[in-house]
């Protein structure tokens, strides 16, 4: 595959990985979009919707944590392709079952299972693309995966707006099955095949991330640089109806609308981040620029009193664009580690970032009891960004790095 990055096989692989991420994002965010409507329909009192919704969301995020570890190890031990098939089958079945729930506990259990399935999609796709394309151009490939994939949020918002919440879950399941059929023509990474043939090499050993201090620190820093992004999506936008009331919104804000425009912004940001990293030859500079922008956008959102639906849309676009370094962040994680644990890292890191929403939510809820929504939002955004900036400073530049090596 070194002869050209534009061969039919590489193009097909990028398209399939991108469509997989499209379905992944659809199913990942569909609960956040349907949270209020679905919980009301199954009989949850209005006063409990926020707490019950966060409980279900945290169950889904817990599934992502478990699934990230499981699928990451599978990807390194048995191949990236098996993850692409197994993960999408699991979350498609879970989303189909979600259309039949009638109580909060069943809802939460099924979202937990869906989270486990969703955890494998992005990591396996990015790993395959990173290992297949040239070191100079792989940033373009991962950028395309993210840009196309993130429009799954737009599709989720549109479907949720025009159809019943049960139907929206069924659509997600159907998209997964269609993608499963499309993936029959995908091929395994050449780098992985070389490693798989070496029986003496430890593959998918997650303990390797913890038995070496420098390697563990590198791994932890990869996770920490992504937490501000998920705070913006998981708290500031998902809880926009609650923030809207505090900000004196002229009409109730819609989380579905907010998520849709935020993810359009993330797609735009991912394009800029991809080109910026190629122009500067630096992923670290790119993430630094976006971390600073994300603080500015969050402050604009939290400081807009009397927020209108139109200004909300523009703010979500701004926030989304400013945190649109998702593909760059995942690529950094993929480039920091050897082939024998690359799938484990690339799959667990974004899911641990998503799973970080659990402690972030707990801390945020504790802060709101004393300082209210707005002040807590400011404090959390500042703290997470400072931590991310420090973590970024600890990582080595990985642009153009040769990935054909092993972790000993």
Number of compact structural domains in the chain: 1
Could you tell me which of 206, 195, 189, 193 has the C-alpha nearest to residue 84?
189
Indicate if the alpha-carbon torsion angle 250, 51, 233, 110 is positive or negative.
negative
Name the more confident of 205 and 321: 321
Which residue do the tokens 């849709």 mark?
A: 260
Within-domain flag for 198: no
Within-domain flag for 403: no
For residue 53, the domain's CATH number is 1.20.1250.20
Task: Categorize the per-residue pLDDT at 187 as very low, low, confident or very high, splitting at 50, 70 and 90.
Answer: low
Task: Categorize the per-residue pLDDT at 206 as very low, low, confident or very high, splitting at 50, 70 and 90.
Answer: confident
- pLDDT tens for each residue of 208-258: 888 889 999 999 999 999 999 989 998 999 899 999 999 999 899 988 889
Within-domain flag for 270: yes
Query: What is the pLDDT at residue 2?
Result: 47
Alpha-carbon distances of 204 from 52, 130, 199, 207, rounded to whole Å? 36, 17, 13, 9
Query: Buried (b) or exposed (e) across 381-392, using 16+ Cβ within 10 A?
Result: beebbeebbebb
User: Residue 21 and residue 179: Cα distance in Å, rounded?
Assistant: 10
Note down the domain range covering 100. 8-184+206-394
The answer to whether 227 and 357 have CB atoms below 8 angstroms apart is no
The answer to whether 343 and 123 have CB atoms below 8 angstroms apart is yes
Question: 34-43, 205-214, 242-251, 295-304: which has the minimum mean pLDDT?
Answer: 205-214
Task: Categorize the per-residue pLDDT at 5 as very low, low, confident or very high, splitting at 50, 70 and 90.
Answer: very low
- pLDDT tens for each residue of 140-163: 888 888 888 878 888 998 999 899
Alpha-carbon distances of 168 from 39, 89, 159, rounded to whole Å? 14, 17, 6
- pLDDT tens for each residue of 44-89: 998 899 889 989 988 998 898 899 889 988 988 888 888 888 888 8
Q: Rounded mean pLDDT of 127-132?
A: 82
> What is the DSSP code string of 286-321?
HHHHHHHHHHHHHHHHHT-TT--HHHHHHHHHHHHH
Within-domain flag for 407: no
Q: What is the mean pLDDT of the chain?
A: 88
Within-domain flag for 86: yes
Q: pTM of the predicted model, to two decimals?
A: 0.81
pLDDT(170) > 60: yes
Most confident of 243-257, 283-297, 344-358: 283-297
- pLDDT tens for each residue of 10-33: 888 888 888 888 988 898 889 988
Residue 337, C-beta contacts closer than 8 angstroms, at least 6 positions apart: 215, 218, 219, 345, 407
Within-domain flag for 399: no
Within-domain flag for 1: no
The answer to whether 204 and 76 have CB atoms below 8 angstroms apart is yes
Query: What is the pLDDT at residue 3?
Result: 52
Within-domain flag for 27: yes
The answer to whether 322 and 270 have CB atoms below 8 angstroms apart is no
Task: Categorize the per-residue pLDDT at 1 as very low, low, confident or very high, splitting at 50, 70 and 90.
Answer: very low
């Amino acid at each position: 595959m070194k002869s050209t990055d534009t061969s039919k096989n590489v193009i097909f692989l990028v398209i399939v990985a991108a469509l997989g991420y499209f379905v992944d994002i659809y199913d990942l965010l569909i609960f956040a979009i349907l949270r209020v409507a679905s919980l009301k329909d199954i009989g949850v009192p209005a006063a409990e919707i926020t707490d019950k919704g966060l409980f279900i969301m945290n169950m889904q995020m817990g599934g992502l944590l478990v699934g990230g570890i499981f699928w990451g190890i599978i990807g390194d031990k048995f191949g990236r392709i098996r993850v692409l098939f197994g993960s999408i089958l699991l979350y498609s079945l879970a989303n189909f079952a979600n259309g039949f729930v009638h109580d909060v506990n069943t809802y939460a259990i099924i979202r937990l299972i869906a989270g486990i399935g969703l955890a494998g999609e992005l990591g396996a796709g990015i790993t395959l693309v990173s290992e297949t394309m040239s070191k100079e151009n792989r940033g373009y490939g991962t950028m395309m995966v993210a840009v196309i994939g993130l429009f799954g949020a737009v599709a989720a918002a549109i479907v949720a707006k025009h159809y019943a919440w049960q139907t929206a879950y069924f659509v997600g399941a159907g998209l997964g099955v269609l993608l499963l059929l499309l993936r029959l023509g995908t091929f395994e990474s050449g780098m992985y095949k070389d490693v798989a043939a070496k029986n003496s090499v430890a593959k998918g050993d997650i303990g390797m991330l913890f038995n070496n201090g420098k390697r563990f620190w590198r791994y932890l820093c990869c996770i920490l640089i992504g937490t501000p992004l998920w705070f913006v999506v998981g708290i500031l936008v998902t809880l926009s109806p609650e923030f809207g009331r505090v900000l004196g919104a002229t009409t109730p804000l819609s989380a579905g609308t907010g998520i849709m425009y935020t993810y359009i912004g993330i797609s735009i940001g991912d394009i800029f981040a991809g080109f910026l990293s190629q122009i500067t030859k630096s992923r670290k500079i790119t993430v630094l620029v976006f971390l600073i922008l994300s603080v500015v956008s969050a402050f604009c959102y939290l400081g807009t009193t009397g927020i209108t639906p139109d200004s909300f849309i523009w703010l979500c676009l701004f926030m989304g664009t400013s945190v649109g370094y998702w593909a760059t962040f995942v690529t950094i994680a993929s480039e920091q580690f050897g082939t024998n644990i690359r799938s484990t890292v690339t799959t667990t890191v974004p899911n641990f970032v998503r799973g970080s929403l659990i402690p972030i939510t707990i801390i945020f809820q504790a802060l709101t009891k004393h300082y209210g929504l707005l002040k807590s939002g400011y404090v959390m955004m500042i703290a997470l960004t400072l931590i991310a900036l420090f973590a970024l400073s600890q990582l080595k530049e990985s642009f153009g790095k040769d990935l054909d090596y092993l972790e000993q």
